[in-house]
Amino acid sequence: MRILIVEDEPDLLASLAQALREEGYAVDTADNGDDGLFNAEGTDYDAIVLDVMLPGIDGWEILKRLRKTKKTPVLMLTARDQTRDRVKGLDTGADDYVVKPFDLEEVFARLRAVIRRSANKTTNLIEIGDVQIDTAARNVLFKEKPVELTAREYSLVEFMALHRGEVVTRTQLYEHLFDENDTTMSNLLDVHVSNVRKKLGAEFIVTRRGHGYCIE
């Protein structure tokens, strides 16, 4: 899963980015409104964490313009606990909001929820044959036994599972699993897929030659 954070307070931006990376997300950042909108429009993020007060265009304006072309889930960071702000955010097309100062666990939980809703999932549990995925605990069971996955392998499994039945192209996987600073060689994706098959069964991810991968 790849997240964009748009936030102008350097310490908050850095700590939020680090915390989300530790949770296994690929993270891009922008510290002003114009760069934020540019990234948000140019990349298919799984979710955007968007501050309201920003240098350049503000969070409301970014959201308004983004909604003309994209449905990317947006979690607003509002500075004041004011009903007016929250109503405005939800009216403009925000999916949820947290009020500063916030608890990191709350941001994680709300992010998982908006990502889940955008994939039309109502619970944290996804079951595919012998594989069970808990997207809140970020763990995976195979034949009822816990499986050790690396952060990257987990992200691959979760993204594919949320798009079950769809053919996911290699380009999509690169866009959702790696951030703009990753310089991973292209063949590493095959290594991740191969490792996941070793751990969750050879048939778990099917290759569609010339198209991409699919969980059926």
Q: Which residues bind Ca ion (CB under 5 A)?
A: 8, 51, 53
> Shortest gap between Cβ of 53 and Ca ion (angstroms)?
4
At what angle are helices 59-66 and 83-92 packed, to 10 degrees?
20
Beta carbon nearer to Ca ion, 76 or 133: 76
Beta carbon nearer to Ca ion, 51 or 96: 51
How far is residue 164's CA from residue 59's CA, in Å, rounded to a whole number? Answer: 32
Position of minimal CB gap to Ca ion: 53
Beta carbon nearer to Ca ion, 46 or 51: 51
> Shortest gap between Cβ of 51 and Ca ion (angstroms)?
4
> Shortest gap between Cβ of 123 and Ca ion (angstroms)?
34
> Shortest gap between Cβ of 88 and Ca ion (angstroms)?
16
Beta carbon nearer to Ca ion, 7 or 46: 7
- Radius of gyration for the chain, computed over Cα atoms and rounded to the nearest angstrom: 18
Beta carbon nearer to Ca ion, 53 or 128: 53
How far is residue 165's CA from residue 96's CA, in Å, rounded to a whole number? Answer: 28
Query: What does each C-alpha distance from 19 to 10, 136, 180, 202, 216 come to in angstroms?
Result: 14, 15, 17, 33, 33
How far is residue 133's CA from residue 59's CA, in Å, rounded to a whole number? Answer: 34
> Shortest gap between Cβ of 97 and Ca ion (angstroms)?
14
Beta carbon nearer to Ca ion, 101 or 165: 101
Phi, psi angles (nearest 5°) of residue 51 = -75, 155
> Shortest gap between Cβ of 25 and Ca ion (angstroms)?
21
Q: Is the alpha carbon torsion for 34, 96, 168, 22 positive or negative? A: positive
For residue 212, what are the β-bridge partners?
A: 208
